[in-house]
Structure formats: structure tokens, C-alpha cells
Amino acid sequence: YGKNTIKFLRLHREGKKHFVKEVEVCTHLRLTSAQEYLEGNNSLVIPTDTIKNIVLVLAKKNGIPTLEQFAIDICKHFMTTFCQVAYVKTYVQEVPWQRLHENGVPHVHSFICVPDGIRFCEAEQCRNGPLVVFAGIKDLKLMKTTQSGFEGFYKNEYTTLPERHDRILCGELFCKWSYGECKDFDFDCIWYTNKIRECILEAFAGPPDCGEYSPSYQKTVNSIQMLVLSKVSQVQVIEVILNNTFYNVVDMKNLGLTNDKEVLVPVEAPYGSCACTLGRKKFLEA
């Protein structure tokens, strides 16, 4: 049980300059007891209202140095404060506020919401187990208008899809990686120095002057994983899900026109999905 979507804004001021971190937190607990389910005995139950208060107080006291550190702080607090907690998991996602700029000058206290991918993280711990930290980015919508195809696939009597060597590749990416057992990482430093987001975009798009041919969603997913694992040594395992939207070339023959992939219609349902989890030395697909 737990509390979901605890939303709040943490405002930090340095003189006239303001820094905002608006987050949405979900914290779930499993207790060592079962009596609250079986007997309605609540004596060990920490109310979800108290969970919310603890999250807000930790934000007030520690601030949100990084999303990951904040999730770790919450997990540690529950494990050390309450001996009836058998397991704790905390998920934190960020509202993508960006500082406004006017003619290149950053504004001291004004922000705009730019949802081109949402950063999130997760920390979890079982009593007597390690504290494990995950981070990720979701809702990242990307498109390439060429250098994508799908050929040589398995065919039988149910196959109607034609082979294509030049199609649009468009999808929404979900990437989540594990930093393994929690260490004294500076998570924002890993994020910014290693440019994980840039890695993902680069693996998706290929070189800016010509791109790189994608023979399938599967291969693109794998390319993203390989690049992140090779560039960011702290990442242990990376899961990528690519939900793709097909674009159908509109047949205009009946309308007396030849449509050379100029007008395409997105097909939003059904949509394909391709997920893979890749770790160091071992390979798992799902």
C-alpha cells in the first residue's frame, strides 16, 4: 500500500535567482504484518497521510539535490524509522520546467514547461537487502523520415505487410536503467556529463548529415542500449520500450494523383511495441 502522485514544488532561492523542482512522488510500503488485512488491526499501519507528510518534510529539510538522491532519502527514512516496514519503493518524476530566456538572457524567476521527455527515478529496498536505484526518461517522442525499413521478416498465410526499405520510423521511447546497488553517485553529474539523453537521441537518429539505416525497431532499441552501456559505465542494465506509430502512405490513385510518400496518415491504434532489457555480459529480452 502507499500514496501515489504526491505533487509538490520545491522552491530554492539564491538572492534574486530562483530554482524550482516540481515533482510527483509515489511511495509504497509492504509491512511485516498481515493483521491489518485479516483482523482490521491497524496498530502497525503507517497512514498514507503520514507517508505524504514525511515526503514533504524531507523535501523541506533536504531539498531535492537530485531526483535519485531524494528517492534514496525517502527509502532510507522509512527503513530506519519504522521496523515494521519490510519493503519500500519510491518513484519520483519531474515536471519539466525550464528557465525562460529573453534574447539569450536567463530569467531570474520565470519558467516554461517543456515536456520533451520526462525524467524519473525509482529506489527500492527490502529489509536486509541492498538499496537499488533506477533512473530513466519517458514520453520522448521521436521521428525519422527515412533511413528506416523492415525486410526479410517471417512470412506465412497471414502476412499482408509488404517489405519496405524506406518508411517513417516514429515512436515514443521509455528508457529505464539501473545503477545497481546505491553508491555515492552524483546522479546529475552522470546525467549531464555523460549526456545520456543525447546518447539516446544520437543512437536513434544516427549522424546528422546522413542518419543510419534502421532495419527494425528491435535493432534501433538495441543500438540505444549499446550506446548508453558503452558511454555510461555506472549503468548496469538498461530497459528500452519503443511504442511505434505507423504512418501509412495515402493511396491517391483513385483521386488521380501519385503520392510519393508526401502525404502520410498516422495509425494510432493498434500500435506496435518493442521492449528489450540489456545488461552487461548477460542478455535478456522481453
Which of 246, 118, 225 has the alpha carbon at shortest distance from 170?
246
Binding-residue total with a copy of itself (CB under 8 A): 128
Q: Contact 120/144 with Cβ under 8 angstroms? A: no
Site for a copy of itself in 185-224 (CB under 8 A): 198, 201-202, 204-211, 215-219, 221-222
- d(CA 268, CA 69) in angstroms, rounded, equals 37
User: What is the C-alpha to C-alpha distance for residues 99 and 241, in angstroms, rounded to an integer?
Assistant: 30
Neighbours of 59 (CB within 10 A): 20
Residues belonging to the binding site are 48-49, 150, 167, 218, 244
Quick note: the x/- pattern for a copy of itself over 137-156, rule CB under 8 A, is ---xxxxxxxx--xxxxxxx
CB-nearer residue toward a copy of itself: 186 or 262: 262
SS3 210: coil
Q: Which is nearer to a copy of itself, 158 or 183 (CB)?
A: 158
Q: How far is the CB of 121 from a copy of itself (least distance, A)?
A: 18
Site mask, a copy of itself, residues 242-281, x = CB under 8 A? -x---x--x-x-xxxx-x-xxxxxx-xxxxxxxxx-----
Interacting span for a copy of itself (CB under 8 A) from 58-66, 121-129, 178-186, 231-239: 58-66
Asked if 110 interacts with a copy of itself (CB under 8 A), we say yes
Which three-class secondary structure state does DSSP give residue 31?
strand
Task: Check binding of 285 to a copy of itself (CB under 8 A).
Answer: yes
Is 240 in a helix, a strand, or coil? strand
Residue among 184 and 260 whose Cβ is closer to a copy of itself = 260
Please report, as residue ranges, which positions from 27 to 56 form the binding site for a copy of itself (by CB under 8 A): 28, 30-31, 34, 36-50, 52-54, 56
* Contacting residues for 86 by C-beta, under 8 A, at least 6 apart: 30, 31, 32, 126, 127
CA–CA dist 144, 142 (Å, integer): 7
Question: Is 52:2 a contact under the CB 8 Å cutoff?
Answer: no
Fill in the DSSP letter of residue 255: G
The stretch among 67-75, 129-137, 160-168, 179-187 that binds a copy of itself (CB under 8 A) is 160-168
